[in-house]
Structure 1
Amino acid sequence: MKLQIFLLIFYFWSCIAFAQDFQLLGQQSFNTIAQVAQDRYGNIYVVEKDGVIHQFDSLGRKLLVYSPPTIAEVSLFEARNTVRLFAFYRDLQSYTLLNRFLTPIENYKFENENIGFVRLANLSADNQLWILDDVDFAIKKFNKNFNQIVLKTPLDLLFVENNYDINYLCEYQNQLFLNDRYTGILIFDNLGNFKRKITLTRGIEQFNFFNEEVYFLENNTIRFLHLYLTTERILPLPEQWKNKAKKVLCQKQRLFLFSEKEMVIFSHELH
């Protein structure tokens, strides 16, 4: 009993210490933020609702801006590959690859008899594509060079109810992650076999990765869950950004928080 009380007190004061350990480094304003991402070098990408992509370095200094020739909302933006930035446009049923200078290097439109309507798409580790097809409600791995589906995993049995909203998928450390905004994160192996689910009482908008942890915003905190152990930790948000932050990106020494129209940068040592 005494040990439990001690742990509760320690956790309480640790949260306070974390909350006081933030120093504001800078901020940027935007029209409306739709997507955020970061690459392996710590560069930050902010995608506005009209498809304009802003690139910042890890100190928050603006580097480049990409304005697409056609105004369209980016449904998924992935920068983890670094040299091949991926922008998927659901309404256009197409994607664009950009190099690290935000110059388009490839445009592709989905036109295959085995693909109905692509809800989401993202790059795989072997430079193929993961696709979530709305028509037959399945995850598919697509080799565009041969224009063929190489893997398919139906999702009907994993979603027995129609109440779902899958808004993100990505491959990380040879696993495929799917976010259902209502229930949690589904994890598959790189062959599309279902492994487990991180069930959340309240769904999340977005998740990201820090080393071997997946993290996301929850109840005015950043919650970190280890991918291979049962450990987790919680980092309270800076007081002035509670009930305001919509998205978050973490680095070892910096924390990036995003509202609908603003990005702020805090210094914070994350281990």
Structure 2
Amino acid sequence: MKTSWVYLLLLLFTSVKSVAQSYSLISTVPINKPEAVSIDKRGNIYIADNYGEVKKYLKDGELDASFSSQTQGQIDLIEAWNPLKIFLFYEDLQQYTFLDRFLTTPQNFSLNELSDFNRLATLSYDNNLWLIDLVDFSLKKYNLNIRQFTIATPFDLLLNPDDYEITFLREYQNLVFFSDIHSGIYVFDNLGNYLKKIGATNVNYFNFLDDDLYFIGANGMIKFINIYNLTEKELELKPISARYVLASATHLYLINDKTFEVYEKQGK
């Protein structure tokens, strides 16, 4: 039995190592300090910096468009999966903004009428809003057409009200995910019903590739967790000090405080 476990561990190590060797660094792009990032379904990436500017880059790292807001506020979340409707959330202003594919014609909306304080907001797949409302400590869905809340799921039985830090929120494949840095990543269906918790702590940001959720793990590797069967994989390019990682079928991006690195997948 011991021999079998040793063989399995060696096999896993070899697999991770071979995956790591299938990427090559093709570009390093200078940036200002990033505060929020996203990737759209076409593989373009978006970085919001500490000046409140958003820049859109093509797959190879070439700058494609930029947005500079007249609003003095930090962008805390970008949702760019739909490249025709880019969503920005400002926690300090309690505001969200829509941009078009050219990052122009901003449309700004206040959240003050919905709650006194929303920790996070993001766009749902049906073009409504998911909110983390800290006033009544819940996950909510707000219908923009009828101007009503249609879902409210309290956190009382899920989170410790005295020890939590919610860091990111996203809908993907009819599931809703948010991360609490102390306890893990929580998963709900699109009706707001709690399903399960993924045991990954200290996660500030996560994203998705096919059926995998991915993020930078505590060991400096990029961790992929299947959102249905919870199987895990790890990818090591080098010792990672990046704040964010973004991935597509062909590229991988490591985003640091001053640069982001573009890696291209080699072979199959």
State the TM bucket, normalised to the shorter chain: over 0.9
Q: Label 1:136 to 1:161 Cα distance change in 2 as closer, same or farther (>3 A).
A: closer
Q: Which residue of 1 aligns with 2:73?
A: 72
How far apart are 1:127 and its partner, in Å? 1.1
TM-score scaled by structure 2?
A: 0.94
How far apart are 1:21 and its partner, in Å? 3.0
The separation in 1 between residues aligned to 2:245 and 2:91, in whole angstroms, is: 23
Q: Label 1:155 to 1:102 Cα distance change in 2 as closer, same or farther (>3 A).
A: same
How far apart are 1:4 and its partner, in Å? 2.5
1:89 matches 2:90: yes
Q: How does 1:181-220 map to 2 (within 5 A)?
A: 181-200=181-200, 202-218=201-217, 219-220=219-220
Q: Which residue of 2 aligns with 1:51?
A: 52
How far apart are 1:161 and its partner, in Å? 4.3
The separation in 1 between residues aligned to 2:43 and 2:53, in whole angstroms, is: 20
How far apart are 1:224 and its partner, in Å? 0.7
How far apart are 1:268 and its partner, in Å? 2.2
How far apart are 1:190 and its partner, in Å? 0.7
Amino acid at match of 2:186: L
What secondary structure, in the 3-state scheme, does the structure 2 residue paired with 1:50 have?
coil
Q: Which residue of 1 aligns with 2:261?
A: 264
How far apart are 1:176 and its partner, in Å? 0.7
Which structure has the higher relative contact order (CA within 8 Å, separation 6+)? 2
Identity of aligned residues (%): 37
Aligned residues: 266
The answer to whether the 8 Å contact 1:28/1:262 transfers is: yes
Amino acid at match of 2:244: K
The separation in 2 between residues aligned to 1:93 and 1:247, in whole angstroms, is: 24
CA RMSD of aligned residues (A): 1.7
Amino acid at match of 1:52: E
What secondary structure, in the 3-state scheme, does the structure 1 residue paired with 2:6 have?
helix
How far apart are 1:79 and its partner, in Å? 0.4
The separation in 2 between residues aligned to 1:99 and 1:71, in whole angstroms, is: 20
The separation in 1 between residues aligned to 2:170 and 2:266, in whole angstroms, is: 26
Q: How does 1:47-196 map to 2 (within 5 A)?
A: 47-112=48-113, 115-196=115-196
Q: Which residue of 1 aligns with 2:242?
A: 245
The separation in 2 between residues aligned to 1:40 and 1:128, in whole angstroms, is: 19
The separation in 1 between residues aligned to 2:175 and 2:267, in whole angstroms, is: 24
How far apart are 1:131 and its partner, in Å? 0.9
Q: Which residue of 2 aligns with 1:221?
A: 221
Q: Label 1:111 to 1:245 Cα distance change in 2 as closer, same or farther (>3 A).
A: closer
Q: Label 1:146 to 1:230 Cα distance change in 2 as closer, same or farther (>3 A).
A: closer
The separation in 2 between residues aligned to 1:193 and 1:16, in whole angstroms, is: 38
Once the two structures are superposed, residues 77-96 of structure 1 have per-residue CA deviations (whole angstroms, 9 ceiling, x without a partner) of 11012211000111111111
1:12 matches 2:9: no
Q: Which residue of 1 aligns with 2:25?
A: 24
The separation in 2 between residues aligned to 1:125 and 1:16, in whole angstroms, is: 36
Give the stretch that moved more between structures: 79-88 or 146-155: 146-155
Amino acid at match of 1:226: N
Q: What stretches of structure 1 of length at least 5 have no aligned partner?
A: none
The separation in 2 between residues aligned to 1:270 and 1:166, in whole angstroms, is: 38
